[in-house]
Copies of this chain bind each other. A is one copy, B any other.
Amino acid sequence: MDFSSDTSAPAHPKVLEALVAANDGNQPSYGNDAVTAQLRSALSRVLETDDFDVWLCASGTASNALALSCFCPPIGAILCHEEAHIARDERGAPEFFSGGGKLQLLGGDGAQIDETELRSALSRIDRGFVHETPAHVLSLTNLTESGTAYPVEQIRHYAALAKEADLTVHLDGARLANALVSTGASAAEMSWKAGVDVLCLGLTKTGAIGCEIIILFGAARAKFGALKARAKRSGHMPPKMRYLGAQALAMFEDDLWLKLAATANQRAREASNLLCKHPGTKLVHPVQGNEIFVRLDEDLVKRLKDAGATFYPWLDDSHRLVTSWATGADTIKRLASIVG
A residues with a Cβ closer than 8 A to B are: 2, 4-5, 7-11, 13, 16, 19-20, 22-30, 57-63, 65-66, 73-75, 77, 88-93, 95-102, 105, 127-128, 130-133, 204-205, 209-210, 225-226, 228-240, 243, 326
Contact = CB atoms under 8 A, between A and B. Distances in A.
7 contacts: A5-B29, A8-B29, A10-B25, A19-B209, A26-B326, A99-B99, A235-B236
State the main secondary structure of chain A at its contact with B.
Answer: loop
A281 B236 CA distance: 38
B8 A235 contact: no
A233 B101 CA distance: 11
Among A91, A128, A234, A237, the one with the most B-chain Cβ atoms within 10 Å of its Cβ is A91
A262 to B, nearest CB: 20
A240 B204 CA distance: 8
A91 B239 contact: no
Nearest to A239: B7
A237 B100 contact: no
Contacts of A130: 30, 91, 228-229, 231-232, 237
Contact of A24 (B10, B30, B97): B10
Given A7-B239, A13-B23, 6 more contacts: A9-B26, A11-B243, A75-B229, A93-B232, A128-B225, A209-B243
Given A23-B13, A210-B243, A96 B234 contact: yes
A7 B241 CA distance: 10
